[in-house]
Structure 1
């Protein structure tokens, strides 16, 4: 039976990762659909005020009908920064209200990272972020609340998702390498505007450890909500047998 998860994606940057992931997963026999709709982001800026507005529940629920009409069984807010900027309790309330409106299980990319880190056995992580330093630090705080030790945080100072969406393989590999730390069990790349789905095995081979990326963990979280244990080595350690 096909598992269908719907994603609310902010604006237009790396949304083509989702059909790519759907293809990879189904090529491994997963039987999934990953439909996506775009939310209105307002101001495209990695600033706390802009991110809090971007993640306002009214903006998210305005697009829910487009997803529920596609027969989805769960909904995920496919955004990291416009979730963790509310703090743990605020992000939980965002998800709770989204689930109530959709009358479906719901989550967000921020919570996906916390659960995915545990799934690959990572107690200590390094954060390699596209964000400015102050926003990256808020993500580290969020992970700390989940009981995950952050041993290094690297910000890149990129203000807009539009710019992040132009990054290719070389920039993504450089980001992961520069953000790694010898004490980290895994490296986290927390921006759904960043294309990563095409290079997940290559990233892990380059670093020699699990690499968790925003769109990857978002897809995994949606399938977790449906208890659908998809296995696909092209999707990295998170989708390997031991983590599934």
Structure 2
């Protein structure tokens, strides 16, 4: 049994995780522990407060009791908003308080792009333009070339969580670029687990989404490989 603890801000698309758990098999558990979202706003000041150390540490005890072998801060904007060095400091603090290997969705994207052997990506984000620029800067700090970025302009996670299949597909298509090897969709409030094969078929290339890479990162930290083609190219190799 492998257990990955997920710290998730508020309530939007956390039902993606039990769906992925079902697709991954009976010996992988993905318990979700909700952190206080504070003000639901894709705005720099609100995101900095959302990712504060004390808010992340508040969910750690439950996570340990659940037998987690690794922990991931399942929030992209609440991690990249601190910048490359600040996001490292955030995960170091989380690892220290949890006593477990720790990461965040932002680092999960960087590691997953490398896993796929890609160098050039396109970003299809739900966020406002200024927040999207923070994510682009984070990727560039990771040595990834961002050939284009698309900002959806949505302020709240609550609104993003209501998006249906058609809106998710439309955002992916709008954010794609012919020079991109992979398309990134960086909001854990966005439901994508049910659409991954369709997204990749529509674009003709790998698509990395926030909840997908979060789970992959937690399993990587727990030194567990998992095969689940319905979760996209990232999970399609047995190697």
- Report the TM-score, using the length of structure 2 for normalisation: 0.99
- CA shift, 1:63, in A, is 1.1
Q: Cα RMSD (Å) of the superposition?
A: 0.8
Separation in structure 2 between the aligned mates of residue 128 and residue 138 of structure 1, nearest angstrom: 13
Q: Could you tell me which runs of 5 or more consecutive residues in structure 1 were left unpaired when the two chains were aligned.
A: none
Give secondary structure in 1 for the equivalent of 2:208. strand
Q: Could you tell me which runs of 5 or more consecutive residues in structure 2 were left unpaired when the two chains were aligned.
A: none
Counterpart residue number, 2:160: 164
User: Is 1:193 paired with 2:189?
Assistant: yes
Match of 2:34 among 31, 38, 62: 38
* Stretches (4+) displaced over 3 A: none
Deviates more, 1:65-74 or 1:126-135: 65-74
- Trace 1:82-97 onto structure 2 (pairs within 5 A): 82-97=78-93
Separation in structure 1 between the aligned mates of residue 58 and residue 224 of structure 2, nearest angstrom: 27
Separation in structure 2 between the aligned mates of residue 122 and residue 131 of structure 1, nearest angstrom: 24
- CA shift, 1:227, in A, is 1.1
Counterpart residue number, 1:22: 21
- CA shift, 1:120, in A, is 1.1
How many pairs align?
A: 239
- CA shift, 1:161, in A, is 0.1
Separation in structure 2 between the aligned mates of residue 150 and residue 54 of structure 1, nearest angstrom: 26
- CA shift, 1:240, in A, is 1.2
Counterpart residue number, 2:46: 50
- CA shift, 1:78, in A, is 0.1
Separation in structure 1 between the aligned mates of residue 99 and residue 34 of structure 2, nearest angstrom: 20
Counterpart residue number, 2:120: 124
- Report the TM-score, using the length of structure 1 for normalisation: 0.97
Counterpart residue number, 1:154: 150
Give secondary structure in 2 for the equivalent of 1:9. strand
Give secondary structure in 1 for the equivalent of 2:194. helix
- CA shift, 1:66, in A, is 1.2
